[in-house]
Amino acid sequence: MGKQMNNSCYLGIDVGSISTNCVVITPEGEVLCEIYKRGDGHPIESVQQCLAQLTAQLPDRFCIQGVCTTGSGRILAGAVVGADVIKNEISAHARATLHLYPEVQTILEIGGQDSKVTIVRDGAVVDFSMNLVCAAGTGSFLDSQARRLNITIEELSARAIMSENPTNIAGRCTVFAESDMIHKQQVGHEQKDITMGLCHALVRNYLSNVCNGKEIKPPIVFQGGVSANKGIHRAFKEALKCDIIIPPYNMVMGAYGAAIIASKSSIEKTRFRGKEASTKPIITQGFECGDCPNCCEIIEVLDAAEIIGRTGGRCGKWEGKTGPRESLRGTGPRCHVSGPSTGRETGHEMCRQVDDVPDLIQIGVPKK
């Protein structure tokens, strides 16, 4: 029994907009292996590649006892690997940070498309905030500006910390930042100063948009993909005038938190699909629900001919369900429509086609 306990471990997977990360931990929270992989818009393949890498790295004696997925692709990833728990990334990140730094008060997290701030008091999350539609305070901002300067993001980080006199760049919006940056280039500012200026712009944007009205108290932990960027770290230190802790595993904190959540969830028997999840080809197919005029595009995740999960519905009747399609139809909330149809609706039974519709509309013919 004791030996088996020693060999058990838990897997956390974080499928973000830019990267897919995996972390395997022992029940005590010690990290056995971590994988950070920049995805390229193929979440399923990324997850499978991560799993394959993981099985290669992890010694054979370890046996995965529970899996938790997080990140914006958590539901899809959960279906692919057979997750026991699916958790939002805000809670997962906070869980990991609180595990490493129980006394933390503020967690700054900047990822590829998302940036968040989490306020912690007495070891419990009390408030959080997440960026809205704008991506100007996130990693994508730096990525696109680095591309514009024709340097890699690693070079940008290295150059920024050498700057002694950072350029002031308007950072309200990516588009304005770009035109301002071009102007500064042409005026003759040094590249290292411009890169540091960009870091300051991102931090200013983040602090004024995401952290607006929040009480930022030390100790502050900074994590997420962008925390690897030393320029941003320096900009935060200068803006907040205090020390910013960058935790170990800073790039994969979401996955680490997910793994901790899996280990604490008292899972009796894991639904993890094991190695086969990484080797078998997994395909997706879409169909239109048509139960109500919302006409959601439902994505079915298939392993051979077997449905292992569904995503894409708005009402919850398809999410994560594996049964045959017909048994789920007509169960969720739907709209009740009355009156003549515009011809757009699918075979929705509530849309009563009324006989005396005026002959104004002909399906498929443009109005003008």
Partner 1 sequence: MTYMAIPNIGNYTIALATAVESLGIKAWASTATTPAALKLGIDAAPESVCLPLKAHLGHFIEADRAGVEYAFMVNSVGTCRLRYYRHMIGQILKDLGLKIKIFGLGFDGFKPPIVRHFDPGPITFIKPLFHTVQKIKAIDELEVAAWRTRAIEITHGDTTQAMNKLLVELSESRTMAQTRAIRKKAAACFAAIPVDKEKKPLKVGLVGEISFLRDKCLNKNIEYILGSQGIELRNFFLLGEELQNITRIVFLNQSRRKSLSKLADRYLQNSVGGHALDSVAYSIRCADEGYDGMIHLCPSGCMPEVSIRPILKRVSKDKDIPILEISYDEHTCGVGIATRLEAFADVLMERRKKNNSPAQRGKRAGHG
User: Sheet of 63-70: strands edge to edge?
Assistant: 31-38, 19-25, 8-15, 63-70, 85-86
Q: How far is the CB of 243 from partner 1 (least distance, A)?
A: 26
Residue in the structure block whose two tokens are 């938190």: 257
In the complex with partner 1, which residue's Cβ is closer, 241 or 336? 336
- Residue 235 near residue 171, CB atoms below 8 Å: no
| Closest to partner 1 by CB, 218 or 293 | 293
Q: Kindly tell me which of 64 and 90 has the beta carbon lying closer to partner 1.
A: 90
Q: Tokens standing for 276?
A: 């086969």
Q: Which residues pair with 147 in a beta bridge?
A: none
Which residue type sits at 141? F
DSSP tag of 341: -
Q: Which residue has the tokens 């009355």?
A: 338
Min separation Cβ 138 and partner 1, Å: 13
How far apart are CB 21 and partner 1 at their closest, in Å? 17
Residue 303, φ and ψ in degrees, nearest 5? -110, 110
- Residue nearer to partner 1 on the CB measure, 159 or 317: 317
CB 205 within 8 A of CB 138: no
Q: Closest approach of Cβ 114 to partner 1, in Å?
A: 8
Please say which residue, 60 or 355, places its beta carbon nearer to partner 1. Answer: 355
Q: How far is the CB of 218 from partner 1 (least distance, A)?
A: 21
Q: Which residues bind partner 1 (CB under 8 A)?
A: 72, 87-91, 122, 124-128, 130, 132-133, 213, 292-295, 314-317, 331-342, 344, 350, 354, 356-358, 360-361, 367
CA proximity to 51, closest of 244, 354, 295, 280: 280
Neighbours of 169 (CB within 10 A): 25
Of the pair 1, 363, the CB lying nearest partner 1 is at: 363
Residue 86 and residue 71: Cα distance in Å, rounded? Answer: 9
* Shortest distance, position 205 Cβ to partner 1, whole Å: 17
| Among the listed residues 326, 327, 349, the one whose alpha carbon sits nearest the alpha carbon of residue 338 | 349
